[in-house]
């Protein structure tokens, strides 16, 4: 039972410390109590809890750091929270924290977390997800998985999702494969984050990616004639560079003149597939002549500008029209055939062709993993010379290219 006293700062100062805890109260300050021990004088707010049929006490501070008036003000605030049911004990707070931490996200929330992780800085050293890939994942989710967007991930009807994916595969096999990839990646990431194990929806049989057959029956000269027949000079130049550099269409179309150094004869690509590091590639004399021709055609910041304008400025070229005789990707494969025919080092071939290098190939390049520009240019000129010889077309700077190919 608490000893009745008068709570004044001077009176509390005179109370002596004791080995056994002594409690003090003041009827003027109902609900404020002082506990005196051998080493401290501690203020408590006390309130009777009718529902629990017990007195609840909360430590609020120590004297003399907290004087009486400050202690009384704090006690009143704590008691008001107790009356409103808003105050939690330390044990209750710990229980609530466990409950909040245990709550799992919905499938939509898990997708948001996964995409945020993949597109943000990867401290593991892995490359970030491309923005276009993020948009593709989001579009696939909205089209094929949005039915379960608001379902908590541990309550997902995996069987129903499997049935949906397998039904979708019958009509749209690649859409089903993409949706299966999205939900699988999302849930595997959630399992790692929340340290749980969940069943992962999947297709009964994974959709097989079709192989692309390259038509090798058409003569190279006929294919080159197709390119020369393209009316738009900018599109024609893009086709020429696709063949002479072995470049992907989307990579070339997104180039600005800030990426091209005409004096050094190089092009710097910001990112190639999963490789976030930029790559500087030396051009052949013929490719350089095409870039110089493009520079004389227009004053746009884009190397391949389109006619459409965004905010008053030209955007870059849209998707190239398909050539009548050439299947998509053909000219890139022809560049590889030319590179193998002139027998350039394989790692330089992959470097020029903007492919990711494997560990052993990087080791061949030395500490920095970059082939020197002279070696690149020599190889690029040999490839261009071979392409022109197969196309039976006299290239620009033919003397230089023929000399480098010999």
List pLDDT tens digits, range 87-114.
566 666 666 555 555 588 999 999 999 9
Do the beta carbons of residue 61 and residue 39 sit within 8 Å?
Answer: no
- pTM beyond 0.75, yes or no: no
Q: Would you place residue 319 in the very low, low, confident or very high pLDDT band (cuts 50, 70, 90)?
A: low
Q: Is pLDDT above 60 for 293? A: yes
DSSP state at residue 106: B
Q: Give exposure, 144-171, as e/b (b: 16+ Cβ within 10 Å).
A: bbeebeeeebeebeeeebbebbeebbee
How many Cα neighbours within 13 Å face the side chain of 88?
8
Residue pLDDT, tens place only, 193-209:
998 999 999 999 988 87
Q: Which one, of 175, 187, 186, 163, lies nearest residue 136 by Cα?
A: 175
Q: What is the mean pLDDT of the chain?
A: 82
Cα(109)–Cα(115) distance, integer angstroms = 10
Give the orientation angle of helix 131-144 with respect to helix 158-171, to 10 degrees.
100
Cα(363)–Cα(359) distance, integer angstroms = 6
| Highest mean pLDDT of the ranges 14-18, 129-133, 152-156, 354-358 | 152-156
Q: Is pLDDT above 50 for 252? A: yes
Cα(351)–Cα(148) distance, integer angstroms = 44
Burial class, 175, CB count within 10 angstroms (exposed 0-12 / middle 13-18 / buried 19+): middle
Counting residues of the chain whose pLDDT is more than 90, the rounded percentage is 36
Q: Would you place residue 328 in the very low, low, confident or very high pLDDT band (cuts 50, 70, 90)?
A: low
Do the beta carbons of residue 203 and residue 161 sit within 8 Å?
Answer: no
DSSP state at residue 325: S
Do the beta carbons of residue 24 and residue 42 sit within 8 Å?
Answer: no
Burial class, 78, CB count within 10 angstroms (exposed 0-12 / middle 13-18 / buried 19+): buried
Q: Is pLDDT above 90 for 247? A: no
3 state SS of 60: strand
Cα(314)–Cα(147) distance, integer angstroms = 40
Question: What pLDDT sits at residue 402?
Answer: 42
Considering Cα of 323, then 327, then 329, then 334, what sign does the dihedral take? negative
3 state SS of 58: strand
Do the beta carbons of residue 245 and residue 255 sit within 8 Å?
Answer: no
- Residue 303 sits at the vertex; the CA angle it makes with 299 and 307, to the nearest 5 degrees, is 70
- Residue 190 sits at the vertex; the CA angle it makes with 188 and 193, to the nearest 5 degrees, is 115
Residue pLDDT, tens place only, 219-230:
888 889 888 988
Q: Is pLDDT above 90 for 318? A: no
- Name the phi and psi angles at 301, rounded to 5: -70, -25
- Residues whose CB falls within 8 Å of the CB of residue 296, separated by 6 or more in sequence, listed in order: none
> Which two tokens mark 218?
């058409």
Q: Omega before 3 cis (within 30°)? A: no
């Amino acid at each position: 039972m608490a000893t009745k006293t008068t709570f004044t700062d001077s009176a509390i100062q005179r109370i002596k410390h004791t080995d056994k805890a002594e409690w003090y109260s003041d009827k003027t300050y109902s609900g404020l109590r002082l506990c005196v021990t051998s080493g401290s004088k501690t203020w408590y707010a006390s309130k009777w809890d009718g529902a629990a049929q017990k007195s609840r006490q909360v430590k609020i501070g120590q004297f003399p750091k907290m004087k009486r008036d400050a202690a009384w003000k704090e006690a009143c605030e704590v008691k008001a929270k107790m009356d409103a049911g808003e105050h939690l004990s330390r044990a209750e707070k710990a229980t609530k924290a466990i409950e909040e931490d245990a709550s799992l996200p919905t499938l939509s929330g898990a997708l948001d977390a996964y995409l945020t992780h993949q597109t943000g800085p990867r401290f593991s050293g892995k490359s970030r997800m491309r923005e276009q890939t993020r948009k593709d994942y989001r579009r696939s989710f909205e089209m094929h998985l949005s039915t379960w967007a608001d379902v908590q991930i541990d309550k997902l009807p995996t069987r129903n999702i499997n049935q949906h994916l397998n039904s979708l595969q019958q009509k749209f096999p690649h859409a089903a494969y993409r949706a299966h990839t999205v939900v699988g990646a999302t849930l595997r990431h959630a399992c790692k984050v929340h340290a749980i194990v969940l069943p992962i929806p999947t297709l009964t049989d994974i959709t097989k990616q079709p192989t692309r057959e390259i038509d090798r029956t058409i003569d190279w000269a006929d294919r080159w004639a197709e390119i020369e027949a393209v009316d738009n000079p900018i599109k024609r130049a893009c086709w020429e560079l696709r063949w002479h550099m072995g470049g992907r269409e989307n990579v070339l179309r997104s180039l600005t003149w800030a990426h091209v150094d005409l004096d050094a004869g190089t092009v710097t690509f910001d990112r190639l597939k999963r490789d976030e590091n930029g790559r500087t590639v030396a051009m052949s004399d013929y490719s350089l002549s095409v870039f110089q021709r493009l520079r004389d055609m227009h004053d746009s910041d884009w190397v391949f500008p389109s006619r459409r304008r965004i905010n008053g400025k030209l955007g870059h070229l849209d998707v190239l029209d398909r050539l009548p005789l050439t299947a998509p990707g053909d000219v890139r494969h022809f560049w590889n055939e030319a590179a193998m025919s002139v027998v350039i080092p394989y790692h330089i071939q992959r470097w020029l062709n903007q492919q990711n290098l494997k560990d052993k190939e990087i080791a061949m390049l030395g500490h920095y993993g970059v082939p020197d520009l002279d070696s690149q240019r020599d190889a690029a000129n040999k490839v261009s010379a071979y392409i022109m010889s197969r196309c039976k077309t006299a290239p620009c700077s033919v003397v230089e290219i023929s000399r480098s190919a010999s």
